[in-house]
Amino acid sequence: MIRRRSKQSESHRGPGREKHGRRPRRWTWAWTWLRACVAGLAMLAGVALPVLATSQAWATSPAYATFLAGGSSRQFAYVANFGDDTVSVINTRTNTVVDTIPVGDEPEGVAVTPNGRFVYITNEGTNDVSVIDTRTNTVVDTIPVGDRPASVAITPNGRRAYVVNEDSNTVSVIDTRTNTVVATVPVGSLPLGVAVTPNGRFVYVTNQDDNTVSVIDTRTNTVVATVPVGSSPTTVAITPNGRRAYVTNFGDDTVSVIDTRTNTVVDTIPVGSEPGGVAVTPNGRYVYVTIEGTNEVQVIETRTDTVVATIPVGTRPRRLAITPDGRRVYVTNTDDGTVSVIDTRTNTVVDTITVGSEPVGVAITPGRGRGKG
């Protein structure tokens, strides 16, 4: 059992067009006027933005930073730094840290809303959740939850956030429209990891002291199944089709595979020493697992449930997140204060990014991302 007490995603013709694509003569003047307006606006934007940027206030504003970064269509990785109470924001196109956000004490878990507008951070030291607005990269709300909230997952419709509270043995259910706790669900002993099924119907929670996984029905917010797994289950990830849940067992160096239709373990996969974080590729073909004991990431092929690759990363890799296009994996290395970036086509590290102290949780926003390498 690992208890961290110290800081260690027109076929129709347009209006005014005739059958064969020629514009009627009566619309010619309007078409010309419209094109002139568009050209004028483009010229104005091209002149006005650089002029505005000469203003110190605009040049240092979050809005201008967003403009330079390409707006909300860009993709970012948010990393919780347990050791210095911050969140690092990584631009996945350049693999550089573009912002650092102060949050609560000992931040650990990270989850992004499906529309990419907000990031939820669990703060173990202050027993609350920080809500970050991704347009400004500022904390816009703080939500009290249970004791030592370790991780968080958000439903596919974005309406609920499920927060696992280690020392309360509970899960807090947050209404994301009001950012208030609307239910508290008792689970097993020392819950740690959490994942929501793609249809939003069920939430899977790992219980380290019980060696079990609790299954919560999101319609009633009650536990409807308890699944025995390996020793000290840490985190859980669910395949895109919702049929399998992969659970890392830190205590016996295995990964349990749960059939979510029957909630029984259908396979147990031997992996390296002290498996921690787990994530499934968007196509469901591979599962990536951090191996804390040997500073590696192992890759499981889901068709055979066998390890097919082992990738050296930084020291004490804890958690990981995969980009929506499935091309990159971002791995937090807690003892290095770095994030390793893995190219999933070659399963090699193509970049290493320095972040804050003791990074743990990581999540990636939807958008266009293209990591270098």
Would you say residue 19 lies in a domain? no
CA pair distance 124, 59, nearest whole angstrom: 35
101 and 240 in a single domain? The answer is: yes
Q: Is 1 helix (H, G, I), strand (E, B) or coil?
A: coil
Strands (E) in 219-263, as ranges, are 222-228, 233-238, 244-249, 254-259
108 and 224 in a single domain? The answer is: yes
Which pLDDT score, from 0 to 100, does residue 70 have? 38
Would you say residue 371 lies in a domain? no
Contact 344, 331 (CB under 8 A): no
47 and 147 in a single domain? The answer is: no
179 and 272 in a single domain? The answer is: yes
Would you say residue 281 lies in a domain? yes
231 and 353 in a single domain? The answer is: yes
113 and 44 in a single domain? The answer is: no
46 and 153 in a single domain? The answer is: no
Low-confidence residues in the chain, pLDDT < 70 = 1-73, 368-373
Would you say residue 2 lies in a domain? no
Domain that holds residue 102: 64-364
Would you say residue 373 lies in a domain? no
188 and 48 in a single domain? The answer is: no
- For residue range 232-291, what is the model confidence (pLDDT) as tens digits? 999 999 999 999 999 999 999 999 999 999 999 999 999 999 999 999 999 999 999 999
Would you say residue 215 lies in a domain? yes
43 and 95 in a single domain? The answer is: no
Which pLDDT score, from 0 to 100, does residue 368 have? 58
Which pLDDT score, from 0 to 100, does residue 56 have? 39
Give me the number of domains the chain comprises: 2
Contact 330, 354 (CB under 8 A): no
C-alpha distances out from residue 285 to 133, 320, 344, Å: 32, 17, 11
Which amino acid is located at 258 in the chain? I
Would you say residue 336 lies in a domain? yes
289 and 275 in a single domain? The answer is: yes
Instruction: Among 17, 45, 60, identify where a domain stops.
Output: 60
248 and 186 in a single domain? The answer is: yes
The CATH number given to whatever domain includes residue 350 is 2.130.10.10
Which pLDDT score, from 0 to 100, does residue 60 have? 41
40 and 82 in a single domain? The answer is: no
Which pLDDT score, from 0 to 100, does residue 100 have? 98
Which pLDDT score, from 0 to 100, does residue 73 have? 59
- For residue range 158-168, what is the model confidence (pLDDT) as tens digits? 999 999 999 99
Would the pTM count as exceeding 0.85? no
